[in-house]
A = this chain, B = another copy of it.
Amino acid sequence: MTVTYQYPRPNLAVDCVVFGLDEADLKILLIQRGLPPFEGKWALPGGFVQMDETLEEAAKRELKEETGIQDLYLEQLYTFGAIGRDPRERVVSVAYYALVNLRDHKLMAATDARDAAWFSTDDLPPLAFDHSEIAGIALKRLKGKVVYEPIGFELLPMKFTLTQLQQMYEKILDRPIDKRNFRKKILGMDLLQELDEVQVDVSHRAARLYKFDEKKYRKLRQRGFVFEI
């Protein structure tokens, strides 16, 4: 089963930068390559685009195949087309980034990945191809975007405390935020739904739980509201 074209074509791939968050750090999901080139090296999950799927579908498929992760917020990042970026042949790769809740998504390495694991964004191993560059650009984009779009909620569990939310922003933006000002601002946006629940199993005063209110968000959006941290 081969195909013939009149002119040569680059091969087209997708790569995914998946962000997760735990108590300690902002993390990126990497796979260990099971095949050449760069066999054994860590890389972003990704692979070639098939003819019957969109770019985003390809990204989701590869992610599921290689790491078991599905159901996530995906956004196109940038397309990388440098000529020598793949040593085998010309490959142009459309990169996506995604945010997931680390605890809800258990990893399962599969197919052509030997292993899959989370790495702290400020302690990434050397990556295959130009994936270090891609990861760096994704991180920059995330930092830029999180301040004016409420995307960070994807990183948290459904129910979270204001402190968790604040720490999420602190970890992504890599700067301290004043607790009172943060609460004033975030509650003032009317974007969160206050729940009748508090934390359990903590050895101190339990904090109130909140959840992101999608409906309120959509209403605000329509009115041209600008979310800003």
Contact = CB atoms under 8 A, between A and B. Distances in A.
A78 B76 contact: yes
Nearest to A78: B76
A51 B83 CA distance: 8
Number of copies: 2
B12 A7 contact: no
Contacts of A10: 9, 12, 49, 51
B12 A3 contact: no
Interface string A3-23: 111111111100000000000
A123 interface: no
A interface SS class: loop
A89 to B, nearest CB: 9
Interface of A: 1-12, 48-49, 51-56, 76, 78-79, 81-83, 90, 92, 94
Given A55-B79, A79-B79, 13 more contacts: A2-B5, A3-B7, A3-B8, A3-B9, A8-B51, A9-B10, A9-B12, A10-B12, A49-B92, A51-B90, A52-B83, A54-B83, A55-B92
